Structure 1
Amino acid sequence: MTLLPGVRSATVDTDRLRTHYLEAGAGATLVLLHGNLSTGRFYEHLMPALAQRYRVIAPDMRGFGDTEPKGLDATRGLGDWADDLAALLRALDLTDPPHLVGWSTAGAAIATFAKAHPVASLTFLDPVSPYGYGGVRADGTPVHPDFAGSGGGGANPEVVERLAAGDTSADSPASIRAVMRALYWAPTHQLPSDREDVLVAEVLKTLTGPDGYPGDATASPNWPGAAPGTRGILNALSPQYCHWADIVDLDPKPPILWTHGTADLVVSDASPLDFGVLGAAGVVPGWPGAAEFPAQPMVTQIRRVLEDYAARGGRVRVEMFEGSGHGPHIDAADRWLAVLEDFLRTA
């Protein structure tokens, strides 16, 4: 499927890796960073409208899409992604502070970037919790000292197998087409078949294995039996390495927009991907109970950190999208775009 009018595809060699990106428009820099198991093309439908005011850039991040398939050092959290973004902006000679949008995993990446570089604004789109994903209590402290219950060992092996095999079907709940329909947007939302085909093909470009998705893992004596490794995307999201609650210390504080789907099943206070929820439901045997391994209240954690950010002098706007899933920029695209444009006008 060809790109939408006005959207261009390009590749540039940076001082870190060869990066593919989509681009549209001219003006102040607006960077749209995708999340796990996606690419810059998940923003393509928004780019023609945004291009009327901004130079919009939607890169494929390390491990995904058509960017050079280099491994990810999980011990840096999303530091590799933040540094890759900085390298891309240098290569494109974009020196003014950018507006950054980070979906899911990329929420941690844009927060990490903002701790090292000036930014014009930050938009968190259903971001990973400020304390990482899985195996932490409400206050962000780990359930187990080795952070068991997070990282690469928690991936569904059939999902990994079907990704590696290039499965385009919806024959199994573990096929990426079925996963997208169930988790990426509201179940009531149906993409046009040609657009869905494009996005399936994009996800199937994912680098799989220990350096990409899901990453490596370490055996653990603690339930559920696996602790984070040191490579790949799911380990980068582990609370052992991923944390952006210290964004409250930024000075100066860029304005923040937080948008979130109320029906998000990925980043939720009761996510069915969280071992605390899976154990309580009996899906993973041997759960030690809520006192020992509670569900992670991810949305509550985001809210508390951003409330602290505001209490310390930052400007925060919150927009919850009723009935939307993990991607309100897809299943409520018109409203989400209007909210973003309104926020950027006053950022």
Structure 2
Amino acid sequence: MLFDGVTARRIKTDRLTMNVLETAGTGDPVVFLHGNVSSSLFWQRPMLGLPAGYRPIAVDLRGFGDTDREPVDATRGLGDYADDVACLLDTLDLGPVHLVGWSMGGGVALQVLRDRPESVRTLTLVNPVSPFGFGATRGADGELTDPDGAGSGAGGANPDFVKMLADGVTSDESPFAPRTIMHAFYVKPPFEPDDADVYVASMLSTATGDDNYPGDTAATTAWPGAAPGTRGVLNAMAPNHFRIDDLHTIDPKPPICWIRGTDDQIVSDTSMFDLAYLGSLGAIPGWPGAETHPPQPMVTQTRAVLDQYAAAGGTYDEVAIEDCGHTPHLEKPAEFAAALADILAKG
């Protein structure tokens, strides 16, 4: 599954053993973090396309790819992942790095920046999860719609999709098969990614169960009837566990580039994975209504946090790529490469 010019190795750190992909490139390190239900394999093309003078390193987060399948303490938000990445940077003695995070990996990258700003030269966010988590918030300031985060977390995962991940299903015969989900939501249809089999294999490397994907659930009387548990991937992004609303307070403030596909169906102000938005469409019964449970404005929330960052002395650029879904690095490689090269040059 490795492209020509890409190698893999497992690196033992003080926290766990992590798998990384590398190329022959040398120079300033550029560290790529993948999204949920994927792995470092999604980053191979951008790694190979980096300009001279950079050293690409793509990381498998815990429970994905060939990194150890350690449990995720969701009460720490994305803290387990961020601490893993920080420990890897120390183990490799990389010094300040250019950090690139896609989707959930964008949230991990934000957490690394929040916790250790001196370790980040530049930050590139690619269709990142909102700084206020995924689901169950309203407004630009990410107000919780329920104190326990009902409407977010592992309860929103489709059980058929989870089973097919666990069973390693590679076909597209089911609407819930990983390959079908990739074609319908990771990219904007009818785009057909090169090396689709590699990306399906990457998705299938996801560890499943209560400690990993999707995590455990908690009962609640609040709509839609499930609240986040304390373990696993989706609960780590629940807004009662993950929230970065003070990014503007960090020092130093490295430059940030926010790259997003304008037709993303996953991270969006009208996300097809947001239970409140699905409720507003009538797909989930009992929706309480827009006054208390509007769709989460994910893009609006990210912009609000970055605007505050800029107002406090930081800088950011928003690069909106038209006719593009959740994976600009696959769908629009030239535009993505140009935006990445631009932010790297600022560091």
Secondary structure of the residue aligned to 1:101 is strand
1:157 to 142, 147, 159: 159
Residue matched to 2:298: 298
Residue matched to 2:137: 136
Residue matched to 1:314: 314
Residue matched to 1:225: 225
Given residue 15 of structure 1, which amino acid in structure 2 is its aligned partner? Answer: D
Residue matched to 1:69: 69
Residue matched to 1:325: 325
| Alpha-carbon distance in structure 1 between the residues aligned to 2:52 and 2:21 | 15
> Which whole-Å deviations, capped at 9, do the CAs of 1:26-77 have from their partners, x for residues lacking one?
1111100001001011010111221622111101101111111111111111
1:168 to 170, 189, 201: 170
Asked if the contact 2:20–2:40 (Cα under 8 Å) also holds between the matched residues in 1, the reply is: yes
Q: Confirm whether residue 187 of structure 1 aligns to residue 189 of structure 2.
A: yes
Asked if the contact 2:147–2:240 (Cα under 8 Å) also holds between the matched residues in 1, the reply is: no
Within-5 A mapping of 1:69-148: 69-94=69-94, 96-117=95-116, 118=118, 119-138=120-139, 139-148=141-150
Residue matched to 2:5: 6
> Which whole-Å deviations, capped at 9, do the CAs of 1:65-124 have from their partners, x for residues lacking one?
111111111111111111111121222222x21110010111111111112221101111
| Alpha-carbon distance in structure 1 between the residues aligned to 2:277 and 2:110 | 27
Secondary structure of the residue aligned to 1:218 is strand
**Aligned CA-pair RMSD:** 1.1
Secondary structure of the residue aligned to 1:170 is coil
Asked if the contact 1:33–1:101 (Cα under 8 Å) also holds between the matched residues in 2, the reply is: yes
Asked if the contact 2:256–2:317 (Cα under 8 Å) also holds between the matched residues in 1, the reply is: yes
Q: How many residues align?
A: 343
Q: TM-score, normalised by structure 2?
A: 0.97
Secondary structure of the residue aligned to 1:243 is coil
| Alpha-carbon distance in structure 2 between the residues aligned to 1:265 and 1:226 | 23
Residue matched to 2:268: 268
- Give the CA deviation at 1:307: 1.1
Secondary structure of the residue aligned to 1:290 is coil
| Alpha-carbon distance in structure 2 between the residues aligned to 1:93 and 1:144 | 42
> Which whole-Å deviations, capped at 9, do the CAs of 1:200-227 have from their partners, x for residues lacking one?
1121111101011100000110000000
| Alpha-carbon distance in structure 2 between the residues aligned to 1:69 and 1:339 | 33
Given residue 124 of structure 1, which amino acid in structure 2 is its aligned partner? Answer: L
- Give the CA deviation at 1:5: 3.0
| Alpha-carbon distance in structure 2 between the residues aligned to 1:249 and 1:91 | 27
Given residue 73 of structure 2, which amino acid in structure 1 is its aligned partner? Answer: D
Given residue 97 of structure 2, which amino acid in structure 1 is its aligned partner? Answer: P
Residue matched to 1:35: 35
Structure 2's unaligned 5+ residue stretches are: none
| Alpha-carbon distance in structure 2 between the residues aligned to 1:10 and 1:51 | 23
Secondary structure of the residue aligned to 2:137 is coil
Asked if the contact 1:143–1:293 (Cα under 8 Å) also holds between the matched residues in 2, the reply is: yes
| Alpha-carbon distance in structure 2 between the residues aligned to 1:116 and 1:165 | 37
- Give the CA deviation at 1:346: 1.9
Secondary structure of the residue aligned to 2:18 is strand
| Alpha-carbon distance in structure 2 between the residues aligned to 1:179 and 1:39 | 16
Asked if the contact 2:264–2:325 (Cα under 8 Å) also holds between the matched residues in 1, the reply is: yes
Identity of aligned residues (%): 50
| Alpha-carbon distance in structure 2 between the residues aligned to 1:173 and 1:51 | 39
Given residue 191 of structure 2, which amino acid in structure 1 is its aligned partner? Answer: H
Given residue 251 of structure 2, which amino acid in structure 1 is its aligned partner? Answer: D
| Alpha-carbon distance in structure 2 between the residues aligned to 1:187 and 1:254 | 35
| Alpha-carbon distance in structure 1 between the residues aligned to 2:103 and 2:146 | 24
| Alpha-carbon distance in structure 2 between the residues aligned to 1:293 and 1:115 | 29
Given residue 12 of structure 1, which amino acid in structure 2 is its aligned partner? Answer: I
- Give the CA deviation at 1:159: 0.5
Q: TM-score, normalised by structure 1?
A: 0.97
Given residue 282 of structure 2, which amino acid in structure 1 is its aligned partner? Answer: G
Deviating beyond 3 angstroms after TM superposition, the runs of 4 or more aligned structure 1 residues are none
